[in-house]
Structure 1
């Protein structure tokens, strides 16, 4: 019998057909996430079982800075895995509060398991290369000439950029720290959802995702991150990791969007944050 959500469940997020088949809220204040089979390589960013293994470990219910909602149970069937969590009522988290929480989260000492992601950006760029890279950005008439140039340079120099990120301190990362996944504050911590890409990544990685998905200036986010981490790392390293991560993410999303029916949002965001891409390619550390 094929798995189906409850009839009285409320859909929170439609399935992506990549790592999950949907997220729902039940009438008794639980959140249900459906995982569907996909990439079965444990260290890859899209490993489909990661969130089930992470939730079952209880690892992220004890961390500081960011924490996961309380895990209730997992149910496995021939077509996938269903995860049940305690529902968390969202409440706005400012970009600065989020950045400070990310700074604290990076200081957690976690013993890596086989299912931790390890090279999110390298994996994603390898996938992009298979599909022609970011060529769409080079000919996009909606992008200013300077932006097209910076996108091309970033693609050309991608191995240098990845090597630079590899030289930074490697820390625990949420993997997709944009505002919709940062549900609410809980004291000095933030309760976060969607840990599909959780693992180890370069200093500034999570801050880069936050930078490209908010309107807060980079210097404000770096200052808040430093406050949260008690300046455990040099501010220039934090900024560099964030800028490189944000630049790659911005251009990759725009290149993907240009092949879609309505690429406007991603193209506009890349244009608005083009100074970040320019900084990434023109001001190496």
Structure 2
């Protein structure tokens, strides 16, 4: 008999990963996420089993800064995986506080699991190359000189990221995933893209999702974290805008592109330095 959620489970809207087949809240306060088979490459950012492996391993169950909700069970069957975790009550975090928590998480010493995501930005840029790069921006008159230079310097930028310290990364550090509180630390959900990545990776994603100025968000962070955050934010933000132009509902990615000009300029300087 095919797997089905119980009738008394309440559907939740969170959980939009490629492997997510649904998320529900049970009457006794458990969150049930159904994972369905997809990408099988253990290092790919969308590896379908990663969220269950993160929960089972407990690798981020008690990390400083950022941690996962308590795992209440992992059940595997022929059609997929059912992951049960404790419900995470939302907290209204200030972006600066989230940035500081991500910095503490990035300072944790964790071994790299065999199934951790790796080279996320490189993979995403390869996907963008297959779609024609950022040509949609040129066609829409949105490609500035700095954006064109950023695309031309992408291999140098990736080389800069390769040389940064490798630190624990959530992989999708958007405020919608940085929900709960455990003392001074953040309880985060949706660990599909967890792994070790360049310093500042998570901060770059957070930068794209907030209106807080770059200097305020990165106050107190290391130079390595700033370089990583700027490069990740610039390449991710511009790639999102180029992709959005071909979508029926582009969201706010194109509008946000104008707000990224200073970040793009700084990213070009980092990539150009490596080129020399």
TM range (shorter): over 0.9
Q: CA deviation at 1:94?
A: 0.9
SS in 2 for 1:196: coil
Q: Which residues of 2 match residues 31-42 of structure 1 at below 5 A?
A: 31-42=31-42
Q: 2:168 aligns with which of 154, 161, 172?
A: 172
Give 2:123's aligned residue: 123
Determine if contact 2:168/2:195 at 8 Å carries over to the other structure.
yes
SS in 1 for 2:12: strand
Q: CA deviation at 1:112?
A: 1.1
Deviation per residue, 1:62-93 (Å, 9 max, x gap): 21110100001111122211100000110111
Determine if contact 2:15/2:190 at 8 Å carries over to the other structure.
no
TM-score, structure 1 normalization:
0.90
Indicate how the Cα distance of structure 1 residues 257 and 53 shifts in structure 2: closer, same or farther if over 3 A, else same: same
Deviation per residue, 1:82-113 (Å, 9 max, x gap): 10000011011111111111111112111111
Give 2:61's aligned residue: 61
Indicate how the Cα distance of structure 1 residues 17 and 54 shifts in structure 2: closer, same or farther if over 3 A, else same: closer
Are 1:192 and 2:188 counterparts?
yes
TM-score, structure 2 normalization:
0.93
CA RMSD of aligned residues (A): 1.7
Indicate how the Cα distance of structure 1 residues 238 and 263 shifts in structure 2: closer, same or farther if over 3 A, else same: same
Indicate how the Cα distance of structure 1 residues 140 and 264 shifts in structure 2: closer, same or farther if over 3 A, else same: farther
SS in 2 for 1:108: coil
Q: How many residues align?
A: 272
Could you tell me which runs of 5 or more consecutive residues in structure 2 were left unpaired when the two chains were aligned: none
Could you tell me which runs of 5 or more consecutive residues in structure 1 were left unpaired when the two chains were aligned: 227-234
Q: Which residues of 2 match residues 4-15 of structure 1 at below 5 A?
A: 4-13=4-13
Give 1:211's aligned residue: 207
Indicate how the Cα distance of structure 1 residues 76 and 10 shifts in structure 2: closer, same or farther if over 3 A, else same: same
